[in-house]
Amino acid sequence: MGLSKSVPADVKRPICDFCSSEPGVFRYPATTFIAEGLSTADYAQQSIGDWAACATCHAMIEGAEMASLTIRSLNFLCQKEPTYEPFREELYQEMFMLFRQFRQHRCGEPTPLRFEAVHPAPRRVRHVQQQLPKTTKRRPLSQRSTPGGGTMRERFTDFCVYTIKHSDDLVQGRSGTFHEKRAWVTGKRLLEEAKRAKQVLPVVFCPAEGTKYLYAWAVLRKIDITEDGTNYTFEKLRLFRNPPPLKTTMKRKSDRKPLHRNFIRPYAICVTPAFLK
Ligand SMILES: [Zn+2]
């Protein structure tokens, strides 16, 4: 679109809320709605207000090509996050439902996005690629460690602890101690073995309010089993970049099968995923 040529370099252009890959050139007025396919009984995902669409997505919306629009968006998503590839079918259904809801909640004709305006961007929409639990600023994984940069790199154990915690508690860079109601007997043993082998035992977190995606990880330093569960001490919590890996990419230690999408228990021993390394 010619529009993009007139955009001053210092103005941030909103990204397309459908494919998340090209700048939006149209604004679709829409009312806020609960995204049914992405919400659970206790965790509602909202689409807030207007949507931005790039030229390609705009043409597909106008042509009512919702399946093509979904495939386009899904392709970009899987390109950005290859671990989503095995879950295309499921993600397709969710996205298709989301876009269908968008059509139902559209409340006017699209207008060109004017970047020179003081408020150029539509209000941020929580799209399937952006609705992931708490879209606060995440530091890219590439910045989380310093290969060859001063500190000695620690080796991970083959297995890790998987747990859940409300995302409010999972703050980038945090070190501390959390309590969990289960007795982490195997976790404690793995930590002792790790220390003897001069390795580190990672803990991977899902947000307790919605366990579809992984959220963060840290290194376990201490595990104390108490009368009513476990106190575990961790260091240097790191948030996964957006889009984060799905929980189902975690494989159980016992049979190497992926954690089921409906698995909501707060404790599992898993194979340490390659994306931590
Ligand atoms: Zn687009």
CATH number for the domain spanning 180: value is: 2.30.130
Band the pLDDT of 113: cuts 50, 70, 90: confident
Stretch among 21-35, 105-119, 218-232 having the lowest mean pLDDT: 105-119
Q: How far, in Å, from the CA of 271 to the mean position of ligand 1?
A: 36
Residue range of the domain that includes 16: 9-133
Cβ 268 vs Cβ 244: under 8 Å: no
Domain finish residue from 100, 133, 166: 133
Torsion of CA 139, 75, 82, 126, to 10 degrees: 30
Express the helix, strand and coil content of the chain in percent, nearest 5 each: 30, 25, 45
Cis peptide before 243 (omega within 30 of 0): yes
CA 249 to ligand 1 centroid distance, Å: 27
Q: Are 48 and 240 in contact (CB under 8 A)?
A: no
Beta-ladder partners of 211 = none
Phi, psi of 240 (to 5 degrees): -75, 145
How many Å lie between the centroid of ligand 1 and the Cα of residue 143? 28
Nearest-angstrom CA–CA distance, 179 and 208: 14
Residues 65 and 147 in one domain: no
Clarify whether residues 150 and 65 are in a common domain. Answer: no
Asked whether residue 171 is assigned to any structural domain, the reply reads yes
Quick check: pTM over 0.85?
Answer: no
Q: Do 76 and 145 belong together in one domain?
A: no
pLDDT at 253 over 70: yes
Start-to-end CA distance of the chain, whole Å, equals 41
108, 133, 158 - which closes a domain: 133
Is 1 within a domain? no
Q: Give me ligand 1 centre to Cα 70, in Å.
A: 10
Span from the CA of 59 to the centroid of ligand 1 (angstroms): 10
Question: Which position has the higher pLDDT, 121 or 90?
Answer: 90
Calculate how far, in angstroms, residue 277's C-alpha sits from the geometric centre of ligand 1.
32
- Return d(Cα 135, Cα 121) in angstroms, integer: 17
φ and ψ at residue 137, rounded to 5 degrees: -65, 130
Same domain? For 254 and 225 the reply is yes
Distance 231 CA to ligand 1 centre (A): 46
